[in-house]
Amino acid sequence: MMRRAVLGVGLLGALLATSMPFASAGAVDIKEVTTPLGIKAWLVEDKSVPVVTLSFSFAGGTATDPEGQKGVTNLMATLLTDGAGPFPAQVFRQRLEDAAVSLSFGASHDRLNGSMRMLSASRQEGFELLRLALALPRFDLEMVDRRRAQFLSSVNQGSQRPTTVAERTLMGIVFANHPYSIDTQGRREALQSVPIDDIKQRATALIARDGLIVAAVGDIDEATLARSLDRAFGNLPASTTRPAIPDWTPPAKARTQIVDRPVPQSAVRMALPSILRGDPDWYAAFVMNHMLGGGGQQSRLFAEVRERRGLAYSVSSSLRTYDKAGLLVISTASANERVADAVRVIRAEMARLRNETVGEPELNDAKTYLTGALPVSLDSSGSIASLLHSLQIDRLPRDQLDKRAALIGAVTADDVRRMARRLLRDDLMTTVVVGKPIGLVGDP
């Protein structure tokens, strides 16, 4: 999970909330910058607001945690802003605050992530503090113990929340015997005992230039960005050895898991194997998912589960992509006595998408929304930097945004039905229900 170390205040906070005119217009000019040391970055330059935003990451995330050290990457990422170089945690945070720099780190399954936002007048100090955080993190015992306690508390609290239990259980089943699996008990045990040397070794194993992806947005030109990136990242090792994440074999049959909890409302997660981001059918799946449950109040699940039957307050579906796997996940929660009906209706809507022809009005509405939603969402330097960063992670070309509307527009009703038949398979669905559901029986 990403954690912001220092929040921008005053002028910085106001500027970061300001919409960027080129984003709302949908015209994003992406330049590729190569530094003298060979670091590559994507840049969208805009001088209308004196702010610079950086989104970056290193290859290797929680899925490559060493055996017996589950959670060490998350812990290490949090500690990167808890003191660096000659500055202990309190002094380092004060320097960030004084310079109006926001710096944060976190970890996903596949990558160690970071972001930085600052006034353009503070960029020299910002890049210097970033350099210290990456090259000379302190990992002082006091801060390690404090963050360790916070992580353990979070893990324990999550064990009491039905939605968190449902998510962790789902990941444990779907990714059984794969590094993407979430092992709550293993994480708890590792965090209780992981020594500082192992945390330092984890930083060394991940933070190197060969796995670096960078996106920058705002009031900075190509030459200045190149110098700044070499300053921040140039002293890092050129390469490091990272363990490869194995391919994933999806579950071969359906499974329903009931986790008993004394709560009045059951949390539900339903997962199906999906496609990777580079699949030629991605946009067909994208449109199909929007129609099923990704489109909020426009979606079929919302209409059938909530509006017509009142079985749940919210219901949604989403496409999740990882380096080695793709999932389509449906999420909802319903009263114990009604959750079986909610699951039944969800399955019925999946069958309807598989078996019935999609009407042109519904299809056109979905495509119109998806085409227009992205430009509207690009309302800040942070959102644009995050998008540029994601495009690079997905190995997509810089002109992908120019092609996007046409790719969505080309999706046909037959494409949607074909993807529904490919993905929405009852025989491969993993269902997790946490609560005391009436009328649902789990597999042994």
Structure tokens at 318: 């989403």
φ/ψ (deg, to 5) at 310: 60, 35
The mean of the pLDDT values for the chain is 92
Q: Look at residue 9 and tell me whether its pLDDT is greater than 60.
A: no
Whether the CB-CB separation of 166 and 152 falls below 8 Å is answered with no
Q: Report the pLDDT value the prediction gives residue 143, as an integer from 0 to 100.
A: 96
Q: Report the pLDDT value the prediction gives residue 375, as an integer from 0 to 100.
A: 86
The predicted model gives 364-384 an average pLDDT of: 91
Write the pLDDT tens digit of every residue in 129-145. Answer: 999 999 999 999 999 99
Helices (H) and strands (E) in the chain, counts: 17, 12
Q: Look at residue 396 and tell me whether its pLDDT is greater than 70.
A: yes
Local confidence band at 186 (pLDDT 50, 70, 90 cut-offs):
confident
What is the pTM (predicted TM-score) of this model? 0.90
* CA–CA separation, 374 and 90 (whole Å): 39
Local confidence band at 238 (pLDDT 50, 70, 90 cut-offs):
very high
* CA–CA separation, 276 and 282 (whole Å): 8
The type of residue at 172 is G
Question: Which position has the token pair 């449902």?
Answer: 166
Buried b (16+ CB within 10 A) or exposed e, 94-133: ebbeebbbbbbbbbbbbbbbbbbbbbbebbebbbbbbbbb
Q: Residue 406 class from Cβ within 10 Å (0-12 exposed, 13-18 middle, 19+ buried)?
A: exposed
Length of the chain: 444
Asked if the domains 3-233 and 255-377+397-435 are classified in one and the same CATH topology, the answer is yes
Q: Taking Cα atoms as reference points, which of 153, 215, 168 lies closest to residue 62? A: 168
Whether the CB-CB separation of 432 and 173 falls below 8 Å is answered with yes
The predicted model gives 64-83 an average pLDDT of: 95
Decide: helix, strand or coil at residue 428. helix
* CA–CA separation, 253 and 299 (whole Å): 27
Residue predicted with more confidence, 427 or 187: 427
Structure tokens at 405: 């509307």
Q: Look at residue 33 and tell me whether its pLDDT is greater than 60.
A: yes
Q: Look at residue 295 and tell me whether its pLDDT is greater than 60.
A: yes
Write the pLDDT tens digit of every residue in 279-290. Answer: 999 999 999 999
Q: Report the pLDDT value the prediction gives residue 444, as an integer from 0 to 100.
A: 85
Task: Kindly give the pairing relationship between strand 101-107 and strand 31-34.
Answer: unpaired
* CA–CA separation, 382 and 48 (whole Å): 15
Residue predicted with more confidence, 32 or 189: 32
* CA–CA separation, 283 and 289 (whole Å): 10
CATH number of 3-233: 3.30.830.10
Write the pLDDT tens digit of every residue in 112-124. Answer: 999 999 999 999 9
Q: Taking Cα atoms as reference points, which of 213, 192, 163 lies closest to residue 316? A: 163
Give me the helix-helix angle, 184-193 and 72-79, nearest 10°.
Answer: 50
* CA–CA separation, 202 and 23 (whole Å): 37
CATH number of 255-377+397-435: 3.30.830.10
Q: Report the pLDDT value the prediction gives residue 20, as an integer from 0 to 100.
A: 46
Structure tokens at 106: 């976190």
Decide: helix, strand or coil at residue 277. coil
Evaluated on CA atoms 25, 28, 29, 35, the torsion sign reads positive
pLDDT-above-90 percentage for the chain = 86
Q: Report the pLDDT value the prediction gives residue 27, as an integer from 0 to 100.
A: 59
Q: How crowded is residue 270: how many other Cβ atoms within 10 Å of its Cβ?
A: 22
Q: Look at residue 11 and tell me whether its pLDDT is greater than 70.
A: no
Q: Report the pLDDT value the prediction gives residue 24, as an integer from 0 to 100.
A: 41
The ranges assigned to domains in the chain are: 3-233, 255-377+397-435
* CA–CA separation, 103 and 382 (whole Å): 12
Beta bridge partners of 120: none
> Dmax over Cα atoms in the chain, in whole Å?
65
